[in-house]
Amino acid sequence: MTGIEDWLPEELKKIKRSALAGDTESEFAFGLLTGNLGSQYNDLDLVEIGVRFMARAAKKGHAKALQVFSSGGKNWRDYDY
């Protein structure tokens, strides 16, 4: 069985590694990219991963992440990160 890592471009793998290490900008970028990819392919699991990474960034005060949540009428505190 192949995993998501098998087909991710190297640049996205780097962003994911940085996001997992706690880099706020990478958390935002990986959340945005993953969420958009999940939406495009109607994959709710990917959307959820994206939202969780976005919530991590919002928790740290990332302005764009906070804006995404407020514009969507969601509260980042509602997500487990």
Domain span at residue 73 reads: 10-78
Establish if 4 belongs to a structural domain.
no
pLDDT at 4: 59
Question: What are 60-74's pLDDT values in tens digits?
Answer: 999 999 999 888 777
Is residue 66 domain-resident? yes
pLDDT tens digits along 7-49: 778 888 899 999 999 999 999 999 999 999 889 999 999 899 9
Judged on CB neighbours under 10 Å (0-12, 13-18, 19+), 11 is exposed
Q: CA angle, 25 as apex, 62 and 50 as ends, to 5°?
A: 85
| Residue 3 forms part of a structural domain | no
Q: Is residue 68 part of a domain?
A: yes
Domain count within the chain: 1
What pLDDT score does 63 carry?
97
pLDDT class of 1 with cuts at 50, 70, 90: very low
Q: How many residues does the chain have?
A: 81
